[in-house]
Chains A and B, each alone.
Chain A
Amino acid sequence: MEATDRANCVGNGSTSASSNRPAIEVRGLRKFYRASTGHQTVNVLSDIDLDVASGHFLSLVGPSGCGKTTLLNIVAGLTPYERGVVRRLGEPVHGPSLDAAIVFQAPNLVPWRTALDNVLLAAQLAGRRRRDFSERAKALLELVGLAQSMKKYPRQLSGGMQQRVAIARALLLTPDLLLMDEPFGALDALTREQLNLELQRIWSETKCTVIFVTHSISEAVLLSDEIVVMSPGPSSRVAYRTPVALTRPRGLELSASPDFGELVQTVRSHLKI
């Protein structure tokens, strides 16, 4: 389908599809900071080891304050880290780059631009020419189901629609990695379910590697190839990891199946709050 070809995630120069190397490697990651009072060090993350294979969908689940957002930000290059190795596509992480796109919890659209222009903002911020990407921007907005809303302003769009624009924006520069920080957390349950299905569809068509941070175990089970549970903070570590072997595509009715239920239970049992 032409739209998906144009919207395909994996960039031309990417070798991740063919190499054996995981798309994301984290070894012995530690993140701490010195509290202003005295020499107390506050450990945020200790000894995190994580690999994400290329094209996989990984969920990070954990209680509030367990540092999952911090971990995502470190992989994104937005937050520095103190010890350990973090690599994206084989390259050590020094800062953000265009092959790791981020979707935040808030849609973060600029109110003075239309939906289409918001998607194109990604190209302009990155120093590319707007007209080179306008085809792709339109294709992506069609992919996320907003073909009718391209000329609308954010205030005319619902929360779910705004978040879909944010996803289209993240995909504009054909990133290999998609890092999502509770993207549907601020939405109501019904919209959330719909967007989960949309995300699964978009991901299967664009073939990115995804790290998805969420509070919701069922959401993680529905979407992921692998779930990583983090221990409560401070000083969190990986408490548990499990592959999710349910067949795709997965529908909402899956949540009634016993396999699904077992997985949710297993994950929950390892989630110490």
Chain B
Amino acid sequence: MQHLIRTRPFQSDGFSDEKPWPSRVAQAIGTNTVVVTCFSILLAVAIWQLAVSVFAPSPDVLPGPNLVVRSLFDGLIRIPAAQGVMTQAGYIQPTVVTLEITALGFVIGSLLGVVLAAVMAASRAIDRLILPWITGFQSMPIIAFIPLFVIWFGYGLRSQGLVCTLIVIFPITVAGRSGFLSVPDDRRALARAFNASAWRRLRFIVLPSALPYVMTGLELGIVYSLLGAVAAQFLAGNEGLGALIVTYQSADNVAGVFSDLIILALLGLTMHRLMVAAKRKVVFWQES
């Protein structure tokens, strides 16, 4: 019967002296997320540089990492040069503008979304009336409305803010509504058993039960809002990171476009991470 019992070779826990040092180093590196991320970024940049060196594309099509880094540096450290807005611009101000619109759209859209979700969860009539519109609008690209908003409200903050608000409001409403409607029956029975009024039920049972869903919606919403702000700036903006990309594009400054994209990626990543951390704090009782 011995052959039926399979035994695996003894697995080292990483601290043992039995493994040769290269694999131990690799194991130590491999378990640290920050190190791996940095490593993979460096690897990507190296491959990029290699591709540029080997294939030598025109800098107007694919600039190498050195050009992009220079552009980033110029944009972040130096103030707009006398040479004109066309080739160089500071990133600080456009970033601030973009963040403002993103935040504004996010906050207003989230508040309205939660309120709307609460109303829909409270009244089945209203729910039936509004739900098709919500799901309908969610399925279409809100940014397609930008030209219309430009006609109605002109260029600038109002149109952009409206786009962001709309982009955020629909997923938040859907998420919030799910949350409000999915309070476990047992918990509802608990509220009834203690004679809770509608307000007390909302405050102590329904809202906290819906919170995980709402926070998940917010996590998505913040990124959507950024996307909306940038897209709106393409078409309706004279300021901001999106408008800057268009400016670079018309000046054939591809390195500038790349560096702007990097900034946007970092912004999006940071905001998402912040939301995830907030969610973990607020909805502390859930195991992820």
Contact = CB atoms under 8 A, between A and B. Distances in A.
A155 to B, nearest CB: 7
Given A112-B284, A127-B197, A121 B204 contact: yes
Contact of A124 (B204, B208, B285): B204
Contacts of B13: none
B195 A126 contact: yes
Contacts of B55: none
Interface stretch (B14-22, B184-192, B272-280): B184-192
A76 B195 CA distance: 12
Q: Max chain B CB contacts within 10 Å: which of A76, A96, A97, A112?
A: A112
B193 interface: yes
Given A125-B191, A126-B195, A111 B200 contact: no
Given A110-B187, A110-B208, A124-B200, A155 B285 contact: yes
Contacts of B191: 125
Interface residues of B, number: 21
B205 interface: yes
Interface in A102-148: 102, 104, 106, 108, 110-112, 121-122, 124-127
A102 B197 contact: no
A195 interface: no
A125 B194 contact: yes
Mostly, the B contact residues are helix
Contacts of A32: none
Q: Max chain A CB contacts within 10 Å: which of B191, B196, B287?
A: B196
Contacts of B196: 125-127
Contact of A96 (B195, B208, B211, B286): B195
Contacts of A106: 186
Contacts of A71: none
Mostly, the A contact residues are loop
B208 A78 contact: no
A98 B195 contact: yes
B190 A126 contact: no
Interface string B22-61: 0000000000000000000000000000000000000000
A122 B194 contact: yes
Contact of A78 (B187, B192, B211, B286): B192
A101 B193 contact: yes
Interface string B193-215: 11111001100110010010000
Contact of B285 (A101, A104, A108, A153): A153
Contacts of A96: 192-195
A108 B187 contact: yes
Interface in B109-157: none
14 contacts: A96-B192, A96-B194, A104-B190, A108-B189, A111-B285, A124-B200, A125-B194, A125-B196, A125-B200, A125-B201, A125-B204, A126-B195, A126-B196, A153-B285
Given A78-B189, A153-B285, A154-B285, 9 more contacts: A76-B193, A96-B192, A97-B195, A104-B189, A108-B186, A108-B190, A121-B194, A122-B194, A126-B195
What 5 A-B pairs come out closest when comparing CB atoms? A125-B194, A111-B285, A125-B196, A126-B194, A112-B285
